[in-house]
């Protein structure tokens, strides 16, 4: 595999935390960290390009090309006890080898900057709509699991967390980096055209917990508006699905009585 690194800046950070989130189901992780970057006005300091990313490029609105990449941002604030590193990107690696490679590169940065705690974000797929999504969590150590409970995070006791979002959290344990993974409930719905529905409501639930754990303030009003639009769309989809099921039931004829199975 080939990897290229583009460094814009070498920030000096004070006892930083790290938050990670790449595209996944409902874009919960990706949208959460993107919103965090936007609200905090975090600065880009490094980009990763890898041959393990999908083999295509993106065309932007102005007609120019954008490569698939992963990015590191940083945020410093004298009012905060800890600086912040945010890792995100517009893709995940498509092979297991690539996902391990990227995860280890991210954790190399965590060791370099002496990250005190890593917060991985992900989606918890329910398959059904929820009025108020809950946030589940797992941690690298039992005491961190107990800490999660203080923020009304529901501890996971089974299952798995796939992709780079999960690997980052798991591999951090091998390097003795304290880490928690926060997973916000999402139905995992798709639009009629087959696109995954971006779940702003799940993002809002996750950010409410994460901001408390990081002890930072985030303006949620713009996100609340997006969540309301997403909620209306989901309700319309459920109504269409219900009508479709009813029509299918009406169109199915009962089998003849003289046929035995």
Helices (H) and strands (E) in the chain, counts: 6, 11
Sequence-distant (≥ 6) Cβ neighbours of residue 5 within 8 angstroms: 46, 47, 48, 49
Q: Over the stretch 101-139, which tens digit does the pLDDT of each residue have? A: 999 999 999 999 999 999 999 988 887 777 788 999 999
Q: Over the stretch 75-103, which tens digit does the pLDDT of each residue have? A: 998 887 899 999 999 999 999 999 999 99
Handedness of CA 36, 38, 44, 48 (dihedral sign): positive
Question: Could you give the residue ranges of the DSSP H alpha helices within 156-220?
Answer: 163-174, 200-214
DSSP state of 25: G
pTM: 0.83
Asked whether the beta carbons of 16 and 114 are under 8 A apart, the reply is yes
The residues with which 84 forms a beta bridge, in sequence order, are: 17, 75
Provide the pairing of β-strand 17-20 with 70-75.
unpaired
Instruction: Give the start-to-end residue ranges of the domains of the chain.
Output: 3-227
The architecture that CATH gives domain 3-227 is 3-Layer(aba) Sandwich (3.40)
Q: Over the stretch 55-80, which tens digit does the pLDDT of each residue have? A: 988 888 899 998 999 999 999 988 87
- Which H helix or E strand runs over 231? helix 221-251
Nearest to 171 by CA among 241, 118, 135, 224: 118
Write b or e for each residue in 174-200: b if 16 or more Cβ atoms lie within 10 A of its Cβ, otherwise e. Answer: eeebbbbbbbbbbbbbeeeeeeebbbb
């Amino acid at each position: 595999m080939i990897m290229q690194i583009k460094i814009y800046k070498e920030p000096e950070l004070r006892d930083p935390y790290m938050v990670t989130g790449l595209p996944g189901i409902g874009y919960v992780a990706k949208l959460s960290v993107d919103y965090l970057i936007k609200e905090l006005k975090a600065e880009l300091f490094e980009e990763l390009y890898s041959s393990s990313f999908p083999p295509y490029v993106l065309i932007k609105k102005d007609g120019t090309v954008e490569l698939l990449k992963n990015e590191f941002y940083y945020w410093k604030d004298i009012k905060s006890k800890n600086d912040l590193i945010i890792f995100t990107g517009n893709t995940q690696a498509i092979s297991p080898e690539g996902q391990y490679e990227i995860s280890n590169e991210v954790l190399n940065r965590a060791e370099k900057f002496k990250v005190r705690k890593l917060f991985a974000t992900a989606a918890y797929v329910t398959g059904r709509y929820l009025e108020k999504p809950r946030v589940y969590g797992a941690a690298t150590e039992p005491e961190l699991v107990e800490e999660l409970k203080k923020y009304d995070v529901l501890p996971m006791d089974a299952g798995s967390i796939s992709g780079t979002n999960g690997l980052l959290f798991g591999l951090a344990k091998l390097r003795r980096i304290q880490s928690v993974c926060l997973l916000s409930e999402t139905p995992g719905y798709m639009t009629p055209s087959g696109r995954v529905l971006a779940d702003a409501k799940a993002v809002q639930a996750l950010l409410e917990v994460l901001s408390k754990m990081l002890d930072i303030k985030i303006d949620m009003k713009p996100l609340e508006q997006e969540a309301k639009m997403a909620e209306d769309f989901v309700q319309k989809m459920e109504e269409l699905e219900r009508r479709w099921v009813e029509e299918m039931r009406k169109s199915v004829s009962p089998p003849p009585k003289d046929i035995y199975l």
